[in-house]
Copies of this chain bind each other. A is one copy, B any other.
């Protein structure tokens, strides 16, 4: 991992400070709206396209090509194993979010990271999804995340960093606390 004074952990801290100052001056710049479109492909398969979003006071046009993510199920869940399933994608979202949070906040605090990795597992009881019990929730009851940080910083500093990254992680908040989700049919 190459780092410089300007970009510790590959993070442009100068721009990070600039962003924070800009939002302090104009709080409306903090409003973001992310979007995705998904098309079912038959069976358990679907494809999500992710492109523009609104943020920092404007429609973002930095992406020249949409990103594509696919979902499917393994054979034991009646799928064709062409892609990870939806609850596995949740684990990816959580890990990706914590990676950004730890790396950015480490950079802001001058903590250099040599490496950062996460192992995740989630427990799910299929009674809920299959409609076999009203007492069993369809989703994860528990998710466990193990975080490995490789850095010369003192253990106490790394613990603080990880605690702060947890408090400010969008996906961790989304999982730990209720989100208002409205589903309507067009």
Which residues of A line the B interface, CB within 8 A?
1-2, 7, 9-12, 15-16, 19-20, 23-24, 27, 29-40, 42-46, 48, 50, 53, 55-56, 60, 62-63, 67, 69, 71, 73-79, 81, 83-104, 113, 115-132, 136-149, 158-159, 162, 164, 166-186
Contacts and interface: CB of A to CB of B under 8 A. Distances in A.
B132 A20 contact: yes
A87 B175 contact: no
Contact of A43 (B11, B39, B174, B182): B11
When all copies of this chain in the complex are counted, the total is: 2
A100 B44 contact: yes
Contacts of A116: 39-40, 46
Contacts of A83: 67
A94 B178 CA distance: 14
A113 B77 CA distance: 20
A94 B86 CA distance: 7
Contacts of A132: 20, 23-24, 30
Main secondary structure of the interface of A (DSSP, over half): mixed
Contacts of A130: 19-20, 23, 30, 168
Contacts of A97: 71, 86-87
A158 B185 contact: yes
A145 B176 CA distance: 20
A179 B147 contact: no
Contacts of A76: 19, 55-56, 60, 62
A15 B130 CA distance: 13
A44 to B, nearest CB: 5
A140 B180 CA distance: 8
